[in-house]
Amino acid sequence: MDIRTYFAQGAPLLFDGAMGTYFASQPGRAEERCERACLTRPEEILHIHRAYLEAGCRAIKTNTFSVSADLADGMDETARDIVDAACRLALQAAASYGAYVFADLGPAPLDRSRTPAEVYQTQAQWFLDLGVTHFVAETLSDDEGIREFAHWLKKQCPEAFLMVSFAVGHDGLTRAGRLGGDLYRRTAQITEVDAVGFNCVSGPHHLLEYIKTLELSGKPLAVMPNAGYPTVLGRRTVFQGQPDYFAGQMVQIVRAGASIVGGCCGTTPEHIAQTAQALEKPLPKACPAAPEKRPKLTMDVSNSLWEKLEAGKHVITVELDPPADDNSEGFLEDVQALRDAGADTVTIADCPIGRPRADSSLLACKIKRELGMEPLPHLTCRDRNMNATKALLLGLSMEGVHNVLLVTGDPIPTEDRDEVKSVFNFNSRKLARFVSVLNESTLRASMRIYGALNLNARNFEVELRRAQEKEECGVTGFLTQPVLSAEALDNLKLAHATLQGKILGGIFPVVSHRNACFLNNEIAGMRVCDEIVALYEGKDRDAAEDLAVTISTRIAKEIFPYTDGFYLMTPFRRVALMERIIKNIQR
């Protein structure tokens, strides 16, 4: 029966459960990659397919979830071999049950030589060549490449059926920080996508509650939750959700509007068998209910930095490195001195050059609470996963800190990399989008998002394009690298003409000839022109500081028409020098 005819009859389509976790639960298989087993242990994979079919499912997925990652890494031969074997096994298993076979496309990694659309298209062509025309792109955290892939697929095979499924947590967010509801709506609007839904990460209860909040599109809704949440026993990760509970929840999910159901991580043939039995019983008629709107609480807060920027006033922000120990007295004294000199805000680096220092966000809360000054903490992508990032942002908001500067973060020093690992769940654009989602869904007062802009980039067109992408992700202002050359000034003028966000122009007071040479040779993103370098030759400390004040004041005047404020960077904790510069540029 054609799958579209099947859906027209109104009966839910029951899929299989989790190939990966079920295979891993077998003796001696925990460390083995289940997709590779299509080649090395085909009889075991065939047996698992048949176990789910015998349990009562009407559709199975090919054992190819990780092939997208293989292709993204350039392992085409391995990927093709797995697809060939997996298709043969799935088609063989499904034939005697009259079940549908879906080509399983796992998420395509980003930032590789192949785009996600190319990854999906390459393997989809292999599936089409083998006679498989039903596809599920599952466990996605964003919709990168889906629109292009859907268009391509229906051109190649108009009768193809494409289902797209996103992985959301109980808060409705994906691992990429996207709102599941937004992804659902965007994807359902793609004509060539036939069904949309959710799988993995969440257990059945949370996915049931989540789909109740959605305005359904009219296309088949797919819901394939995990069997509850994992726990670690010894060295094994196991799911303890019971099949009877899972089946009862799946009945409720169908009543809530799902027409495609099945299981993800932890679901066994027994979960599917009990679900099949439960769905055979007449389902009570459910009155269609309006989505359960959960209004987001809001509160009015003062954000003096943003208020001044919005009012068109030039602001002054000064960067201070956090202490390397637990003594904050000197740091707070410096902040107070800068505030008294006329600085509007202090911005605090987040473990600069990858070395541990006092936490920038905790210091920001301390500044806000004890000095009443508006802080701007840096938040890097280097040291926190999504959970830690969200927790930190919630804490900042509670403490009245509503400005953050999002940066990738300096790499961990080479000598530390064996023991200290970077995280990088995000790049700065994804992190901005994640904070924007929290602004919409969770935070009672919006967090103003700032990004970095490198005016000294070798290819500034690429840098400017990235800045525009940051704006699309929610960035409302930029702090630039220092203007210490004619090229940087020209790039600032171009940025001013191109970007919508507020621009705080970078000013770094060079304090010696040695300092200028060091910046040019050892600090990424810095460029001191030869003319300025030459001015420092032979100068002692006092003369060099006087020169730094003169040059910084001149630069401030030059960049004033193209900025909304100044971003001063403090060298070597020379706060008295910064006070002189602040007083000069305020005249």
Identify the CATH number of the domain in which residue 118 sits: 3.20.20.330
Residue 324 and residue 255 share a domain: no
Residues 223 and 337 in one domain: no
Mean pLDDT of 346-355: 84
Residue 354 pLDDT level (bands cut at 50, 70, 90)? low
Query: Hey, CA dihedral for 469, 474, 476, 478, is it positive or negative?
Result: negative
Lowest mean per-residue pLDDT among 5-14, 291-300, 367-376: 291-300
The H or E element spanning position 162 is strand 161-166
User: What residues contact 489, with CB distance under 8 A and at least 6 apart?
Assistant: 483, 558, 559
pLDDT at residue 293 tops 60: no
Mean pLDDT value of segment 482-506: 98
Residue 381 annotated as part of some ligand binding site:
no
* Same-domain pairing of 411 and 265: no
- Spell out the SS3 assignment of 204-264: HHHHHHHHCCCCCCCCCEEEECCCCCEEEECCEEEECCCHHHHHHHHHHHHHCCEEEECCC
25 band by pLDDT with thresholds 50, 70 and 90? confident
User: Average pLDDT in the 515-541 region?
Assistant: 94
pLDDT at 187 over 70: yes
Shared-domain flag, residues 352 and 245: no
Q: Is residue 99 part of a domain?
A: yes
Instruction: Pick the last residue of a domain from 219, 254, 280.
Output: 280
- The sign of the CA dihedral 131, 136, 138, 144 is positive
Cβ(255)–Cβ(283) below 8 Å: yes
Last residue of a domain, one of 226, 253, 280: 280
When mean pLDDT is compared across 118-127, 136-145, 215-224, 299-308, the lowest value belongs to: 299-308
- At 118 the pLDDT is 96
Q: What percent of the chain has pLDDT over 70?
A: 92
488/436 same-domain check: yes
Contact 83, 63 (CB under 8 A): no
The answer to the question of residue 307 being in a domain is: no
Domain-embedded: residue 291: no
Q: Say which residues have a Cβ less than 8 Å from residue 62's Cβ, sequence separation at least 6.
A: 83, 86, 87, 89, 90, 101, 102, 103, 104, 127, 132
**Closest residue by Cα to residue 66 from 58, 78, 57, 54:** 78
Per-residue pLDDT, 28:
82
Least confident of 224-238, 242-256, 325-339, 378-392: 224-238
Q: What pLDDT, on a 0 to 100 scale, did the predictor assign at position 417?
A: 45
What mean pLDDT is reported for the chain? 91
Residue 375 belongs to domain with CATH number: 3.20.20.220
Q: Is residue 110 part of a domain?
A: yes
Radius of gyration of the chain (CA): 28
Please give the pLDDT value at position 297. 66
Q: Are residues 218 and 360 in the same domain?
A: no
In a shared domain, residues 10 and 100: yes
| Any domain includes 289 | no
Structure tokens at 158: 């108009």
131/269 same-domain check: yes
Structural domain of 580: 316-585
- The model's confidence at residue 531, banded by pLDDT at 50, 70 and 90, is very high
Domain boundary among 256, 280, 304: 280
Tens digits of per-residue pLDDT, 72-123?
Answer: 989 999 999 999 999 999 999 999 999 999 999 999 988 788 999 999 999 9
Q: State mean pLDDT over 318-337.
A: 95
* Residue 302 resides in a domain: no
Please tell me whether residues 257 and 345 are part of one structural domain. no
- Looking at residue 179, what DSSP letter applies? B
The per-residue pLDDT for 210 is 94
Average pLDDT in the 292-310 region?
80
Average pLDDT over residues 161-166: 98
Residue 548 lies in a domain: yes
- Mean pLDDT over 40-44 rounds to 96
Find out whether 351 is annotated in a ligand binding site. no
| Contact in structure between 364 and 348 (CB atoms under 8 Å) | yes
Kindly tell me if the per-residue pLDDT of 480 is higher than 90.
Answer: yes
Q: How does residue 291 score in pLDDT terms, banded at 50, 70 and 90?
A: low
In a 3-state reduction of DSSP, which class is residue 105?
Answer: strand
Q: Is 265 annotated as a binding residue?
A: yes
pLDDT at 312: 96
How far is C-alpha 375 from the chain's CA centre? 25
| Average pLDDT, integer, range 360-388 | 92
531 or 298, higher pLDDT? 531
Structure tokens at 498: 């191109």
Instruction: Report the residue count for the chain.
Output: 587
Instruction: Count up the domains in the chain and report the number.
Output: 2
- Where do the H-state alpha helices sit in 15-108? 19-24, 37-40, 42-55, 67-72, 76-95
List the single range of 240-249, 295-304, 468-477 with lowest mean pLDDT: 295-304
Going by pLDDT thresholds of 50, 70 and 90, the confidence category of residue 430 is confident
Q: Supply the DSSP string of 466-535, one letter for each residue.
A: HHHHHHHTT--EEEEEE--SHHHHHHHHHHHHH--SEEEEEE-----HHHHHHHHHHSTT----HHHHHH
pLDDT for the residue numbered 423: 60
332 and 266 co-located in one domain: no
Give residue 414's pLDDT.
47
Residue 242: CB partners within 8 Å, gap ≥ 6? none
- pLDDT surpasses 50 at 124: yes
d(CA 350, CA 581): 24
Query: Is position 303 within any domain?
Result: no
- Tally of CA atoms within 13 A in the half-sphere of 16 that contains its CB: 29
Question: Which residue in the block uniquely carries the two structure tokens 């499924």?
Answer: 165
Say yes or no: 276 and 351 in one domain: no
pLDDT of residue 129: 97
Is 208 in the same domain as 137?
Answer: yes
Q: In what order do the strands lie in the sheet with 100-105?
A: 13-14, 258-261, 221-224, 195-199, 161-166, 134-140, 100-105, 59-61
- Where does the pLDDT of residue 296 fall: very low under 50, low under 70, confident under 90, or very high at 90 and above? low
Q: What pLDDT, in 10s, does the model give residues 214-245?
A: 999 999 999 999 998 766 554 556 567 799 99
For helices 42-55 and 76-95, give the axis angle rounded to 10 degrees.
40
d(CA 399, CA 443): 12
